[in-house]
Structure 1
Amino acid sequence: MTDALTNLLDLDPAQLVAFCGEMGEKPFRAKQLQRWIHQYGASDFAEMTDLAKSLREKLATRAVVRPLQVLSDHTSSDGTRKWLVDVGNGNAVETVFIPEETRGTLCISTQAGCAVNCRFCSTGKQGFSRNLTSGEIIGQLWMAEFALRKSKGVAPGPKGERQITNVVMMGMGEPLLNYEPTVKALKIMLDDNAYGLSRRRVTLSTSGVVPMIDKLGLDCPVALAVSLHASNDALRDSLIPLNRKYPLADLMAACRRYLEFAPRDFITFEYCMLDGVNDSDRHARELIALVQSRQNPVPCKFNLIPFNPFPESGLTRSPDHRIRAFAKVLMDAGIVTTVRKTRGDDIDAACGQLAGEVQDRTRVQERMQKMSTYQQKYGEDFGRIVEIRS
């Protein structure tokens, strides 16, 4: 019977107002509902004591707050916590909480699997299953916030200490290829009657879906991180196939346009450090030329990510001394550069390790093994061979 009910986790603020209107209720009821659901963690309408009994009875017949089912819950030795949540039909996604002294960051998934197939990401090796609904995306924040409060004895409600201060859409999937549900979830995160997060504290990470970057700037601009990982088109084509559709010149132009609307005055470029692939001083100098063009510079910072190896990739992590040398080249050019600290790798919760339980529907693993064989055979010429064949 619940299949016919509206899951209120799926509704953004404007939709919740419209839903209340359909029941003959005034807009302020939507705000009350939002506070109960997203600030108090209530899923039972009977608990919402400042709602009229007649409204609670209507809600019981028309709506539901349907949380995600947690399949597993693991905490790393460094405090990182990873949940595996069921999204139906044999698919599951992963959500990761990273605690730090001054903030708590939640890494959220937007798809079951991923169709982008970045070579260094273990999610991509399993292929794409489906997009998540907005309720499944915001449901990860709902689930994590109140699980963390419960474990720490923090009372629900707006006066209770918020456990999650930052959200990054860097989990499984490409957020901009699941655009509408992702934006609906963002609007709930930002709404003062829900989580009230600052746009500066919500970061969307994309592999470079240029038209959707432009659309996000108009619809719901938040902090933007771009998975760059290469300094030239031939190399990026081999690591991120999406680059063949939206090459670096187009991507840089989209980043400049986005900054007109962004809550921050810079773009974060994520760069996974791959031994012998993209980590030379020459690659660093190419990056400098890319973002510091005299005519069209892109204000930015670089976040260098030590690669988290998995067998199917055929790739290895750059040595620490090489990462430091690479960072120095960028910093000497005046570019703010950080090296991401690896967190949660003992529970496979580190960057690039999220795999969930999705079926390999695209034979990604087979193709990646072939690609690794080609690279070993042709060495430095591999990028040029890929460019010619594409």
Structure 2
Amino acid sequence: MSISENTKPSLIGFSREELARVFAELSVPEKARGMRVAQVWNWIYARGATDFARMTVLSKDLRAALAENYSLERPEIVTEQVSADGTRKWLARLAPDKPGGPGPLIETVYIPEPSRGTLCISSQIGCTLTCSFCHTGTQKLVRNLSPGEIAGQIMLARDRVGDWPGAQAANPAGLPEAERKITNIVLMGMGEPLYNFENVRDAMAIAAASDGLAFSKRRITLSTSGVVPQIPRWGAEAGTMLAISLHGVRDELRDELVPINRKWPIAELLGACRAYPSLSNARRITFEYVMLKGLNDSIADAKELVRLLAGIPAKINLIPFNAWPGAPYECSEWEQIEAFAEVVNKAGYASPVRSPRGRDIMAACGQLKSESVKQRASERRAEAAAP
């Protein structure tokens, strides 16, 4: 059964408290609920079960009751594109928002390297921020993703690359040699995660649970364009690593590149960064800086960046601009990027130049949008043509 045909709520994304309510509704005695919650939690998040029948620690009747009322559906991969560099972009379908209709689509990107694998996940369908250099920002916001749709991206990726205990990858070519194929989670896909705070927080609690998906919080990075009031709250309630989409060192330029800056300008943003809980040299904030020819790539810009970040334990990711159809910007010349990086490095900040991954399949930073929008447009045309 495809995700579009399934009408039962999925347990993916359920917390322990929500699972306890499920067992209460199924008339499991109160004294046994804690044990049943622990068992089902383990089967869902540690073992990646896709069928209640596999949960043989439960009675046959309880498995049948769960199967009758719930599912273990995660987002369903519609297409997989594999880049020449091994990056994989999955177009994934969610459960329908209304009966009989096609489910909405999101994009998730997996970046394998020899010793690690990074999964870039989405937090919203579309985006409200309209950052002028970002293709994703040209797609209107449809809605927030639920905790299950966010955590479900991690689970569909583990399904696909065989990252569950004893599992085999559907396509093992190019996967990391490490035992774990997905080692890092970055909330850098579609959407502004801090505009979907509670759902993202709840999904990352599952991701970080030692008996759940079991990612260290130092292996989870949330990237924000600068929703300043939510930054300290995220640090207190979630405590993952933090990345800031900075991209400009002057308010007048950042107002154009990242319009949220008009609400929370650079000084306020960096003030929130300085106060981020648990900030230290071991837990640095990453500042993302896309290199745009003639706009933000001068040596003077590099020196101002160093001045602005003084006193903040930080790493600066310099990102060569990834072009997309109709983009109004060009990437900085490589020599200019290197000169910029040298200034930042000499000031004591690690400033790696991010190697573009997945450009040929529009999976690189700032490029997510095209396939999901094309697919939805095709589906709308098909619906309109139907008798």
TM-score normalised by L of structure 2: 0.85
Moved more, 227-236 or 306-315: 306-315
- Residue-by-residue CA offset, 1:99-154 (whole Å, 9 max, x unaligned): 11111110001111110111111011122111111111111110011111132689
1:337 aligns with 2:351: yes
Q: Is the 8 A contact 2:13 2:206 kept in 1?
A: no
- Residue-by-residue CA offset, 1:234-266 (whole Å, 9 max, x unaligned): 111010000011111111111112143689431
Segments of structure 1 that go 5 or more residues without pairing to the other structure are 155-159, 360-390
Q: For 1:1-390, what aligned pairs fall within 5 Å after superposition?
A: 3=7, 5-23=8-26, 24=28, 25-87=32-94, 88=96, 91-149=104-162, 150-151=168-169, 161-260=179-278, 264-292=282-310, 297-355=311-369, 356-358=371-373
What is the distance in 1 between the residues matched to 2:276 and 2:309? 15
One-letter code aligned to 1:11: F
- Residue-by-residue CA offset, 1:213-248 (whole Å, 9 max, x unaligned): 121112111010110000111111010000011111
Segments of structure 2 that go 5 or more residues without pairing to the other structure are 97-101, 163-167, 173-177, 375-387
One-letter code aligned to 2:237: D
One-letter code aligned to 1:338: P
TM superposition outliers: structure 1 runs of 4+ over 6 Å: none
> 2:125 aligns to what SS in structure 1?
strand
> 2:267 aligns to what SS in structure 1?
helix
Per-residue deviation, 1:166: 0.7
One-letter code aligned to 1:147: R
- Indicate the structure with greater helix content: 1
Q: Is the 8 A contact 2:223 2:243 kept in 1?
A: yes
Change (3 A) 1:75 1:219: same
What is the distance in 1 between the residues matched to 2:254 and 2:104? 29
Moved more, 261-270 or 30-39: 261-270
TM-score normalised by L of structure 1: 0.85
> 2:264 aligns to what SS in structure 1?
coil
Q: Is the 8 A contact 1:221 1:263 kept in 2?
A: no
Per-residue deviation, 1:291: 0.8
Q: Is the 8 A contact 1:97 1:104 kept in 2?
A: yes
For the aligned residue pairs, the C-alpha RMSD in angstroms reads 2.1
Moved more, 343-352 or 49-58: 49-58
> 2:134 aligns to what SS in structure 1?
coil
- Residue-by-residue CA offset, 1:199-223 (whole Å, 9 max, x unaligned): 0001111101011112111211101
Percent sequence identity is 45
> 2:372 aligns to what SS in structure 1?
coil
One-letter code aligned to 1:179: F
Per-residue deviation, 1:2: 5.2
Task: Tell me the residue number matched to 1:385.
Answer: none
Q: Is the 8 A contact 1:113 1:123 kept in 2?
A: yes
What is the distance in 2 between the residues matched to 1:232 and 1:179? 28
Q: Is the 8 A contact 1:222 1:262 kept in 2?
A: no
Task: Between the two structures, name the one with larger relative contact order (CA 8 Å, sep ≥ 6).
Answer: 1
